Structure 1
């Protein structure tokens, strides 16, 4: 989905690179995502609300999203982080009266089985690698 979403957004290479390497922090807020740029010297003055519609970062209240054609780095940063979009989708479903269960979908992988491409030993103990999150072995911390 991320590749299709990126194709739909069609960011410039510069925006895509910045969305990947800048230290963004994400908070769910009323079914949207508040994106803070912790790379900035004054991060509290660099927070922007990214509106999510049907799983797509549609708009951002930053100056760049309004001024330039194409998506801003905040919208792209949300788009390339599937766990953030999944959390927004779950929050929006609950807000609309849907029911959410804590059951993990069947992945065909035992929870104790370590994926072949596990990189957890290279990360902080509280943060799992993507292979373990994707396989359902570990969850992202809150």
Structure 2
């Protein structure tokens, strides 16, 4: 299987910047908002990356429109598999899909402890989300994994 990064036309300079700049990501209706915290005014460096078939296909930044290759925001999303996995999951649910947990899932026996842990975490928004999908804070800190 080809990686998303391998499917993007870009330069080594853009690939490096996509890895070392301080990007922040937020899911927005099947797209990803990318904010670059490397700038003193990150609110002015915030763009939306469109995802189609697990590939960042477009970005609202000026560089993506000006140059023929993928911008650093698209590459930043492409190299972060958990972001693409979260988008795919969101798009599946938005299209009317339904997450189904396979039988004998390794986490089945942990349901009670998960619910108890969630109740003890006041900064957790998992209760507002559907089924087993974790909030960003729980996923980011490793408290919960994305469903399979």
Whether these two folds match at TM > 0.5 is yes
Which residue does the alignment assign to 1:9?
Answer: 8
SS at match of 2:99: coil
Aligned counterparts, 1:26-105, within 5 A: 26-101=25-100
Runs of at least 5 residues in structure 1 that lack an aligned partner in the other structure: 112-125, 129-136
Corresponding residue pairs, total: 114
The 1-side partners of 2:58 and 2:9 are apart by 14
The 2-side partners of 1:42 and 1:18 are apart by 18
Which residue does the alignment assign to 2:141?
Answer: 127
Report the Cα offset of residue 138 of structure 1: 6.0
List structure 1 segments (4+ residues) > 6 angstroms apart after TM superposition: none
Structure whose alpha-carbon radius of gyration is higher = 2
The TM-score, its normalising length taken from structure 2, stands at 0.68
The TM-score, its normalising length taken from structure 1, stands at 0.71
Report the Cα offset of residue 102 of structure 1: 6.1
Runs of at least 5 residues in structure 2 that lack an aligned partner in the other structure: 111-139
Report the Cα offset of residue 101 of structure 1: 4.2
After superposition, give the CA deviation of every residue in 1:18-60 in whole Å (9 maximum; x if it has no partner). 0000000000001000000011110011100000001110000
